[in-house]
Structure 1
Amino acid sequence: MNLRPVLGAAIAALSLAACATPTAVPPVGPGPVTPHRPRPEPPAPRLEPAPVRPVELSSLQGWAREDHAAAFRAFRETCHVARRRELADACARAKARGTLGPSDAKAFFEEVFQAEAVPGDGVLTAYFAPVYAARRKPDAEFSMPVRPKPADLVNGQVYADRTEIEGRPTDEAIAWMRPEELFFLQIQGSGVLVFEDGRRMKALYAANNGRPFIGIANPMRDRGLLARDNTSGEAIRAWLAAHRGPEADEIMRLNPRYAFFRLAPDDGKPPVGAAGVPLPGGRAIAVDPGFNTYGDVFWIEGEAPLLAGAFPTYRRLVTALDTGGAIKGRVRADLYLGEGPAAGTEAGRVRHTLRMYRLVPRS
């Protein structure tokens, strides 16, 4: 807002003062003392943020060891979702090139892009598309219903919490799962269910109850249920399975968020992220859309893992194609690692210090 001085009142006051009759001079002697009012300090000059200086991709740590051909293939397949206009030309150039080998792909990125550091350090985690066993009818092991979106749930509004939903009738259940595996399916957002007859169906995210996501790793660590350096997804899932029943239920209910699903035939394709395209394994990240834009390309550096058994570093080109309830902040990324148990084991161990560089096309 532009604040402009109001001159009319000041001019009127001056005019009245000039026309007023002078008053008598007061006699000499002690009188009221006017307190000293220091002159106000001038406002500090507004400091503009320092400009971000682009750096060459060749200077990024780990760039020479990147699989540039795989990175180019993923970029070419997904770049059409980019929201920034300046990426349109880079995308068109990539699509015109066709398939590129490692050296040509490396040259393409270095010719088209520079990198800008995103200020600050953050957190890198990972997720995957699980494949879980399921049943058409419940039994002692497969005791938790997969629920469809309730008819009275309005998207964007706060709905019943996990405890209340789990106490409701199960007439509309679309499948039955082990409780701890349904819990992780809800965290991942989608997956594949394999039924007793071998039929595979995709469990696709339909809605959630609008409650905040609260991770259970820290409470389990604080209660002494898990070692401080062993709060991986694998360790959490194993504990919940070993304590299936009231003990595990109490822990899972610490997270009030509840997800609902719908079933669709398994087409063998990767899950579709929030940007509307299938997620390339190892090349897609979920971001906070309040700070980053779908289609943006990043170089990520994940180091200093907190969890036992984790890979020491993650350095690669990725594209922002998804989001998640626990992904908050500018320097925050959730790396999609693919489908199945191996991807799940790896994803559960990723909690690294993160630095991000946004790729920007050369002007």
Structure 2
Amino acid sequence: MTWRAAGAGLALTLLAAPASARAPRAAGFAELPGWASEDHAAAFAAFRETCGAARDPAMGGPCRRARTAGSLTEAAARAFFEDNFSPDPAAGSGVLTAYFAPEYPARPRQDGEFSAAVRPPPRAGGPQPDRARIESSPAPDALAWMRPEELFFLQVQGSGVLVFPDGRRMKALYAGTNGRPYLAIGGPMRARGLLPGEVSAQSIRAWLAAHRGPQADAVMRLNPRYGYFRLAADDGRPPSGSARVPLPAGRAVAVDPAFHAMGELLWIDADKPVLPGAKPAYRRLVVALDTGAAIEGPVRADLYLGEGEAAGDEAGRVRHELRLYRLAPR
């Protein structure tokens, strides 16, 4: 697990929503919701670049044909998928969330604002303490220092880019956790009346920033899981997921590996957003290229939306009812 192992989609700061029993049915591609309006050429480009990560031997033929074909027109790309795959609907419905590659300011030394240590993993041996004990311990080996609420969100996302005052950019890469369970803080915050309005990633982060110090620390410590990092030079490439290939923005998802193989081609049909300001629907071809600690179940996906603030704003509002189709090689 290289990218999403530390956390879940930003919208999972809400309480989990139960899946409904409604099962999709499709006799073919024509019946897939949104298939006719898909950007098949863009989907084909993403498949061609990532299909080498597929674990299913049956994907070998379509992958070779895609790489031999090179770039395709919209019509040819649609024909490629329809000729090489058939849609297999998963029973029931679940939840679509989203994630992104965040970019945060950092400092090489601690100060009053940048007071949270980006820590490397400890030496192996013995049980790991919870978040509260880790944060209250000295950090002589700190890799960098961040605002506490931004470090918390970096740990939820799993990795990101740190920008230092001298312009230096470093990737903060997932390096493990303390092994404690992940607890989404949105539900407890709502129950305590801390967020009387919209409960979203943006509102949670704004509250934590406004109450930086003991109040915000107490809320963040409701989540006992703590993430460790390693730093590497920012090479400008997209982050890699569990499949160890760069994640194409808008075309990669994190899934539960108990139900989906890496490199699997999927059609997502997601609508009925929960959060205000969200897009009404996400219907597109995606590739399973990542995993996440809270991404569990056969109809559960976390859509990677790219890097930067705009991707983060969108990701924080994605919590849609999901129907999922596996595109099985013919």
TM-score using structure 2 length: 0.91
Q: Which deviations, in whole Å up to 9, do the C-alpha atoms of 1:2-61 show, x marking residues without a partner?
A: xxxxxxxxxxxxxxxxxxxxxxxxxxxxxxxxxxxxxxxxxxxxxxxxxx9863212211
User: Hey, what's the Cα distance between the residues in 1 that align with 2:258 and 2:61?
Assistant: 25
User: Hey, what's the Cα distance between the residues in 2 that align with 1:106 and 1:231?
Assistant: 39
Do structure 1's residue 82 and structure 2's residue 65 form an aligned pair? no
Tell me the residue number matched to 2:288: 320
Which segment drifts farther, 165-174 or 53-62?
Answer: 53-62
User: Hey, what's the Cα distance between the residues in 1 that align with 2:55 and 2:31?
Assistant: 27
Instruction: In structure 2, give the amino acid aligned to 1:248.
Output: A
Tell me the residue number matched to 2:39: 67
Do structure 1's residue 295 and structure 2's residue 301 form an aligned pair? no
Match of 2:112 among 129, 140, 144: 140
Tell me the residue number matched to 1:233: 201
* Cα 1:330/1:349, change in 2 over 3 Å: same
3-state secondary structure, aligned to 1:237 = helix
Is the radius of gyration larger for structure 1 or structure 2? 1
User: Hey, what's the Cα distance between the residues in 2 that align with 1:261 and 1:271?
Assistant: 14
- CA positional deviation for 1:153: 5.2
Matches within 5 A, 1:3-14: none
- CA positional deviation for 1:303: 0.7
Q: CA RMSD in A?
A: 1.3
Q: Which deviations, in whole Å up to 9, do the C-alpha atoms of 1:94-120 show, x marking residues without a partner?
A: 111001121211111111111010111
TM-score using structure 1 length: 0.83
Instruction: In structure 2, give the amino acid aligned to 1:340.
Output: G
User: Hey, what's the Cα distance between the residues in 2 that align with 1:208 and 1:266?
Assistant: 22
Tell me the residue number matched to 2:13: none
**Contact kept in structure 1, 2:26 and 2:32, CA below 8 Å:** no
3-state secondary structure, aligned to 1:299 = strand
- CA positional deviation for 1:224: 1.6
Tell me the residue number matched to 2:250: 282
Match of 2:233 among 258, 261, 265: 265
Question: 5+ residue gaps in structure 1?
Answer: 1-51
User: Hey, what's the Cα distance between the residues in 1 that align with 2:75 and 2:195?
Assistant: 46
User: Hey, what's the Cα distance between the residues in 1 that align with 2:219 and 2:188?
Assistant: 8
Instruction: In structure 1, give the amino acid aligned to 2:262.
Output: Y
Question: 5+ residue gaps in structure 2?
Answer: 1-23
Tell me the residue number matched to 2:298: 330
Question: Identity of paired residues, percent?
Answer: 63
Tell me the residue number matched to 2:325: 357
Tell me the residue number matched to 1:199: 168
3-state secondary structure, aligned to 1:356 = strand
* Cα 1:171/1:74, change in 2 over 3 Å: same
Tell me the residue number matched to 2:183: 214
Match of 1:129 among 95, 101, 118: 101
Tell me the residue number matched to 2:158: 189
Deviating above 6 A after TM superposition, structure 1's stretches of 4 or more consecutive aligned residues are none
Do structure 1's residue 151 and structure 2's residue 123 form an aligned pair? yes
Tell me the residue number matched to 2:66: 94
Do structure 1's residue 306 and structure 2's residue 266 form an aligned pair? no
**Higher RCO, Cα 8 Å, sep 6+:** 2
- CA positional deviation for 1:167: 1.2
- CA positional deviation for 1:152: 2.9
**Contact kept in structure 1, 2:107 and 2:165, CA below 8 Å:** yes
Do structure 1's residue 178 and structure 2's residue 147 form an aligned pair? yes
Tell me the residue number matched to 2:78: 106
